[in-house]
Chains A and B, each alone.
Chain A
Amino acid sequence: MMSDLNQTVLYQYLLRLGDSSLTMGQRLAEWCGHGPYLEEDVALTNVSLDFIGHAQLFYQLAVALDDEHKTPDDLAFLRDAHEYRNPLITELPKGDFAYTTLKQYFIDVFNLNLFQGLKHSQLEPLAQVAKKALMEVKYHLKRSEAWVVRLALSTDEAKARIQKSLDDLWFYTPELFEVDDGMRTLVDAEVIPDYATIKSSWQERVEELLQKCELEPPESGWVATGGMEGEHSEHLGYLLAEMQFLPRAYPGCEW
């Protein structure tokens, strides 16, 4: 059954996983030296390292599929914005601490459900990566969830900032659950889980927390989409320009 899989479809899907992790990791790394206090600075950058580590694992699976002898670094550093497959939410500028925290929470709940599904993948190497990543995601979620509660039920300023973050981020979340024809074949082959189930679990958990935090999602707005086709916001270009500068200016250089 595995050999019948369309390798291009699988490759694109692995890029989506890797690109989502890498852009999250890069945005979190921007907090280095800018955290609200020392311990939180360390926490943000440690989570960043986990995300970059996950990206590397997904890219390794991707490069194993092609015959071009590419490395995970080639995928990270030598592709342009239109070749990235992450949803727009992960490339958005880091914003303030409330914004970073709420975005982190949305992604952590999503990853928890996604990786819980992927660990049953018929594609054994993908299942193995998901199992490993899941242990880390659970810890990330514990932290981001506690922070959302702490900010939302704190001072007026903290509450206003997290409500503003919710207003700004809410319509970027539906894109997380988008599925295209290629992905449907992966669902049918039990390589990836059903995204509708992931979506309903995500909604249930998130809505419960928002209620507990007395936060109101906005009622209408522009719904983000396009990442899966390589149509990104202008922010991704700036992110890549900074992240890719060194390997592009000094090709093949090593640490």
Chain B
Amino acid sequence: MVMNASENTLDVSTIERILSKVKDPEIPVISIRDLGILQNIVITGNLVTVEIIPTYSGCPAMYAIQADIKKALQMHQINEVEVKLVDDPIWSTEMITTRGRAAMQSYGIAPPLVAGEKNIRCPQCSSENTVRISEFGSTACKALYRCEDCLEPFDYFKCHA
């Protein structure tokens, strides 16, 4: 039988490890840590407070993420959980980790351009010969592009900074 959390000593690294399995519901290959929205974990007695920041103001996935965090911790018998949506710092795509960018790329989403990069690369064939089809793609955080070489349409994770 799994021990009760109250009989264990809770520590931040355990929580972090559990939360590294919580993925963005829209891009299920990137964790909320790698996306930059998991900001802080505070443990007070048996209460775990997880602070996250929203991506876009209107992102409907924030509710699902809050629920997923609670569910993931509950699966480890950590039931006293509070997920707080905080407004500082303001999220930007610069907070996405290198690992997160690589995960996006291999999933077929072009990661946001970083300083110095000019052209958006096709995540399928790496061609820089791409054109924008629409300012918005399948979600608020993405725009729709097409590769002029392999002709595949693809999502581009918009630069938001």
In the complex, the answer to whether A46 meets B57 with C-beta atoms within 8 Å is: no
Interface residues of chain A: helix, strand, loop or mixed (majority): helix
13 contacts between A and B (CB under 8 A): A42-B134, A42-B137, A46-B140, A53-B56, A53-B58, A54-B57, A54-B58, A57-B57, A128-B90, A131-B90, A132-B87, A136-B57, A142-B135
Q: Does B27 contact A (CB under 8 A)?
A: no
In the complex, the answer to whether A49 meets B134 with C-beta atoms within 8 Å is: no
Closest CB of chain A to B113's CB: distance in Å? 14
In the complex, the answer to whether B137 meets A139 with C-beta atoms within 8 Å is: no
List 20 other contacts, CB 8 Å, given A43-B136, A52-B58, A139-B135.
A39-B134, A39-B137, A42-B137, A42-B138, A43-B134, A46-B140, A50-B58, A50-B140, A51-B58, A53-B56, A53-B57, A53-B58, A53-B59, A56-B57, A57-B57, A128-B90, A132-B87, A136-B57, A142-B135, A146-B135
CB within 8 Å of A: which of B48-107?
A: 54, 56-60, 87-88, 90, 92
Residues of A within 8 A of B110 (CB): none
Given the known interface contacts A40-B134, A139-B158, the answer about A132 and B139 at a Cβ–Cβ threshold of 8 Å is no
A51 CA / B57 CA spacing, docked (Å): 8
Q: Which residue of B lies closest to A43 (CB)?
A: B136
Closest CB of chain B to A104's CB: distance in Å? 12
Residues of A within 8 A of B139 (CB): 46
For the side of the interface on A, what is the size category?
20 to 34
In the complex, the answer to whether B60 meets A49 with C-beta atoms within 8 Å is: yes
A129 CA / B87 CA spacing, docked (Å): 8
- Chain B, residues 123-134, CB within 8 Å of chain A (1/0): the string is 000000000011
Q: Which residue of A lies closest to B63 (CB)?
A: A255
A48 CA / B58 CA spacing, docked (Å): 8
Question: Which residues from chain B sit less than 8 Å from chain A, CB to CB?
Answer: 54, 56-60, 87-88, 90, 92, 133-140, 144, 158, 160-161
Q: Which residue of A lies closest to B133 (CB)?
A: A39
- Residue among A47, A54, A135 facing the most chain B CB atoms (10 A cut-off): A135
In the complex, the answer to whether B136 meets A42 with C-beta atoms within 8 Å is: yes
In the complex, the answer to whether B56 meets A50 with C-beta atoms within 8 Å is: yes
- Residue among B87, B92, B133, B140 facing the most chain A CB atoms (10 A cut-off): B140
In the complex, the answer to whether A135 meets B160 with C-beta atoms within 8 Å is: yes
Q: Which residue of B lies closest to A60 (CB)?
A: B87
Residues of B within 8 A of A136 (CB): 56-57
Residues of B within 8 A of A129 (CB): 87
A142 CA / B134 CA spacing, docked (Å): 12
In the complex, the answer to whether B88 meets A49 with C-beta atoms within 8 Å is: no
In the complex, the answer to whether B56 meets A49 with C-beta atoms within 8 Å is: yes
In the complex, the answer to whether B136 meets A46 with C-beta atoms within 8 Å is: yes
Given the known interface contacts A39-B134, A142-B135, A143-B135, the answer about A133 and B140 at a Cβ–Cβ threshold of 8 Å is no
Closest CB of chain B to A253's CB: distance in Å? 16
Residues of B within 8 A of A51 (CB): 58
In the complex, the answer to whether B57 meets A133 with C-beta atoms within 8 Å is: yes
Closest CB of chain A to B70's CB: distance in Å? 16
CB within 8 Å of B: which of A110-161?
A: 125, 128-129, 131-133, 135-136, 139, 142-143, 146
In the complex, the answer to whether B56 meets A39 with C-beta atoms within 8 Å is: no
A135 CA / B55 CA spacing, docked (Å): 11
In the complex, the answer to whether A135 meets B136 with C-beta atoms within 8 Å is: no
- Residue among A25, A46, A49, A54 facing the most chain B CB atoms (10 A cut-off): A46
- Residue among B56, B59, B138, B161 facing the most chain A CB atoms (10 A cut-off): B56
A46 CA / B61 CA spacing, docked (Å): 13
A25 CA / B144 CA spacing, docked (Å): 22
